[in-house]
């Protein structure tokens, strides 16, 4: 955990930390308990082209969220796909 800031928030180190059985990031959202899964962070950070840098994480995930909202709002997106995309979006 101590290496993460000194590694400039390297993506691989963060994913490894989240895979640890000793680390659990959980929160309540609309009555459900949500958990931050290492494989999801790995997949989405790769999609956002994050390699490292504390300042890169939030803007990259905000851009992915904006893309997802655009796809949800598009009239070309079929309703079943739109509903499925909404399930994965947490404001």
> How many C-beta atoms lie closer than 10 Å to residue 81's C-beta?
13
pLDDT at 9: 85
Question: How many residues comprise the chain?
Answer: 91
pLDDT at 8: 82
Q: How many domains does the chain have?
A: 1
* pLDDT value of position 4: 82
Structure confidence at residue 76 (pLDDT): 92
* Structure token pair of residue 66: 């904006």
- pTM of the full structure: 0.69
Backbone angles phi, psi at 44, to 5 degrees: -70, -35
Structural domain for 28, as ranges: 3-87
Average confidence (pLDDT) per 10 residues, the chain, 91 residues: 81 90 87 89 89 87 88 90 76 49
């Amino acid at each position: 955990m101590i290496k993460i800031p000194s590694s400039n928030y390297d993506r691989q180190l963060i994913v490894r930390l989240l895979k640890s059985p000793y680390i659990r990031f959980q929160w309540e959202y609309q009555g459900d308990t949500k958990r931050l899964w290492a494989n999801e962070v790995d997949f989405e950070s790769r999609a956002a082209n994050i390699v490292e840098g504390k300042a890169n994480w939030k803007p990259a995930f905000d851009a992915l969220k904006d893309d997802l909202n655009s796809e949800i709002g598009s009239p070309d997106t079929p309703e079943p796909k739109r509903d499925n995309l909404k399930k994965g979006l947490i404001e």
